[in-house]
A and B are shown apart, each in its own frame.
Chain A
Amino acid sequence: MRKTIAALLLGIVMVEPDYALAYIDPSAGGLLVQILLGGIAGIGVLVKLYWGKLTKLFRKEKNDQS
C-alpha cells in the first residue's frame, strides 16, 4: 500500500523487475546518481530511501531499549 501511494505521489509507473540487457552491474551508486540527475521524481525516490534508512535507525534504537 505504502509503495503504491509513493508511486502515485511521484507520478511514476512500475516497470520490469530487472533492467533488460544489464549483464554488467550498473552499481547502486551509479543508478542513484542517475536517479538524482533525472529530476524531481528521482529526488522523491531518494528522499524516500533516506527516510527509510532514518526510520530503520530509530526502530533499531527502540528495539534495543526494549
Chain B
Amino acid sequence: MTSPEFIPDFVRASGSYRDPEGFVFFQGDRVFRALTKDGLASYHDFRQSPLSQWLEKDNWVTRTWETDSAFVGAIAAKFPEITGVIEQSRIPFISYPYEWSFDMLKDAALHTMDLLLHSSRHGFTLKDATAYNIQFPGCRPIFIDILSMAKYVPGNPWLGYTQFCQQFLFPLALTAHKGIHFQPFLRSYFEGIPPDVMKSLLGWWGWRKPGMLKHVFLQSFFQTGFQADNPELKSSFQSLKFSLDHVNTLVGAVKKVVAHLHQSSSQRHWVEYSENRSYTAPEIEAKQQFVDKHLEAIRPLSVWDLGCNTGEFSLIARKYSDLVIAADADPESVNHLYRHCRQNDISGILPLVLDVTNPSPGLGWNNLARQGFLDRGKPTIVLMLALLHHLCFTHNVPFAYVFNLLLAVEARYVVIEFVPKSDPMVKKLLANREDVYPWYNLPAFETEAFKHFSPVDRLELPTGKRVLYCLKRHDC
C-alpha cells in the first residue's frame, strides 16, 4: 500500500491543464494521471474494450494501470474532483515536435491517424490530435495521452482536424513543398501553424499541391470569413450530424496527403559534408576507439552527443547506454540518423534537432508548459566531438561558456575535441574573415577546462594535431 505521505512529493505537470477530465502529475520518476469521475468512466470504457490490450501489446500506446485506493485517496484529499489515478510507463526523455526531424513528425502523424482509424473500428476516437501526445521512447512513435481515447459520440465531426492540420500536416507540407524547415515555426506557434499563415507561406501557386486547396486555402478562407462566435454559424453546425464513416473518410484522405509528403533533398549540406574528410583512416579509428574505451569504462546512464552530425558516435554510445540524446542543429543530419535507427530497429538513441547555441527554451503558459531542453535531464557524459571550433569561430562562444554549460547540465564527464587553428577545417572557417580569436589555443583551452574538470585521458591525433580529452568533473 502506498503511503499517504506521497503528497509532499507531488509535482503537477505544468503543461497538463487543458483536459477537464484529468491531469498529469509526477512522483519522483513515476508518471500518473489523476482522473475525474468522467475521466475514470472513459478510462474504464477503454480498458474494457479489446482495443486497449491490442494497442498496448503492439506498443501503439503507453502502458497504463490503475493505482490502489489509498493512493487515490491521498490525491483526492487535495483534489476533491479526482476519483481515480492511473500510472503510466515512463518515457526516458521527453521531446517536442519542434525538436523532431521531418520523418519523425511524419511517423508521429501517421501513428496518430492509424490510431484514429483502428480505434474507430471499436467505436473509439481521439478527443484531440496534438503532436505533443506522441513521444519517441525508441526509434518508433508511441501515443502517451490515454485520456484522449474516448467513445465516439454520434454526430461529432473530427474534433482534432484543425489541430492535426496545424501541428502535423502544415509543418510537413511546409518542408516538403517549400524546403523550409518547420522546427522554428512549431517552436513559435504554440498551437501549430495557423491556416492563414500557412497559406501565405505556400504562396498562391501552393493550392496546386495535393490536399493544399482543401486543407489550407479553403480552411483559411472559411476561417477568415466566419468568426467562431457567429450565432448563425453555430445554429448551422447544430443542424448537421456527422458520422464515424464521415470522420474516417476525412482521416483517410488526410492520411493519404501526409503519406505522400517527402523531405526535399535540395538543402543537404551537413549530410554530405563530413568532418571525416580532414581525418585519415587511422585517425578515425583512433578517435572511435578513444570514445568507445571511455564509454565502456563509464557505462553512462545517459549520453548527450551534442553536434552529433549523422550520429557516428551516438551509435557507439548506445552500446554502453540505454539513453543517448543525439542532437544536431541540422535537421537533415538528424533525419538521416532517425531513418537509420528506424530502418535497422536501433533503440536507445533519440535524435533531436537542436542548436547548442540556442537550445529549446521553456514555452507556453508561464514558460513552463514545455520544458527547456537543458531542464529535461542530466547527462552522465556529454560528447562534444568536432564541435568546439564551430562554437568558437562561427558563434564566438568563449571556452568558459562551453564549460559553464557542461556544469549547468551537471555532466559528470565530457569527451571533447580541440581542433587547432592549423587544422584545414578551421582554416576554412576563417578563410574570409579576420582572425579575432587570439584566445583560441590549446593552453588557454586546458586552463579553462581544468578549472572544473580533471583529465582522465588525452589523445593527440597526428595529422591535424587535433586533441581528444576525456574529462571528469572535479566534484565527482
User: Chain A interface (Cβ within 8 Å of chain B)?
Assistant: 3, 6-7, 10, 12-17, 19-38, 41-42, 45, 48-49, 52-53
B297 within 8 A of A: no
How far apart are B362's CB and chain A's nearest CB, in angstroms? 22
Chain B 204-241: CB-based contact to A (< 8 A → 1; otherwise 0): 00000000001100111111111110101111111111
| B156 beta carbon closer than 8 Å to chain A | yes
B18 touches A24 (CB 8 A): yes
> Whole-angstrom distance from the CB of B16 to the nearest CB of chain A?
13
Contact A14 B238 (CB under 8 A): yes
In the complex the two chains form, is B226's CB within 8 Å of A45's CB? Answer: no
Given contacts A28-B222, A29-B223, contact A34 B228 (CB under 8 A): no
Instruction: Name B's A-contacting residues (CB within 8 A).
Output: 18-20, 125, 127-128, 130, 150, 153, 155-163, 165, 195, 214-215, 218-228, 230, 232-242, 246, 249-250, 253
Interface contact B163-A14, CB-CB below 8 Å? no
Most buried by A among B155, B159, B215, B224: B159
Residue in contact with A49 in the complex, picked from B156, B158, B214, B236, CB distance below 8 Å: B236
Cβ A28 vs Cβ B155 within 8 A: no
Q: In the assembled complex, how far is the CB of residue A6 from the closest CB belonging to chain B, in whole angstroms? A: 7
Residues of A within 8 A of B195 (CB): 29
A38 / chain B contacts, CB cutoff of 8 Å: 240, 242, 246
Check B127 against A21 for contact (C-beta < 8 Å). yes
Pairs A-B, 5 closest by C-beta atoms:
A29-B223, A30-B162, A32-B222, A27-B162, A20-B153
- Asked whether A23 and B219 contact (CB < 8 A) given A7-B239, A31-B157, the answer is no
Q: Are A28 and B223 in contact (CB under 8 A)?
A: yes
Give the CA-CA distance A6 to B239 in the complex, in Å. Answer: 9
Find out whether the CB atom of A16 lies under 8 angstroms from the CB atom of B155.
Answer: yes
Contact of A52 with B220 in the complex, beta carbons under 8 Å: no
CB-CB < 8 A to A16: which residues of B? 155, 238
Query: What separation, in Å, do the CA atoms of A17 and B13 have in the docked complex?
Result: 32
Give A27 Cβ to nearest chain B Cβ, in Å.
4
**When chains A and B are docked, how far (Å) is the Cα of A30 from the Cα of B163?**
9
> Are B223 and A27 within 8 A (Cβ)?
yes
Are A26 and B240 neighbours in the complex by a CB distance under 8 Å?
A: no
Chain B residues, Cβ within 8 Å of A22: 127, 156, 159
Residue of A nearest to B214 (CB): A33
Nearest residue (CB) in B for A41 is B240
Contact between A26 and B162 (Cβ–Cβ < 8 Å)? yes
Report the nearest A residue to B226, measured CB to CB: A28
Known: A15-B241, A25-B228. 17 other contacts (CB 8 A): A15-B240, A16-B238, A19-B156, A20-B156, A22-B159, A23-B128, A24-B128, A24-B163, A25-B162, A26-B159, A28-B226, A29-B223, A33-B215, A34-B157, A34-B246, A49-B233, A53-B225
A-B contact pairs, 13 of them (CB 8 A): A14-B238, A15-B238, A21-B127, A23-B19, A26-B159, A27-B223, A30-B223, A32-B222, A33-B161, A35-B240, A36-B218, A45-B240, A53-B225
User: Separation in Å of the B231 CB from the closest CB of chain A?
Assistant: 11
Contact of A28 among B160, B165, B214, B228 (CB under 8 A): B228
Bound-state Cα–Cα, A20 to B227, Å: 21
* Max count, chain B CB within 10 A of own CB: residue among A7, A30, A38: A30
B161 touches A21 (CB 8 A): no
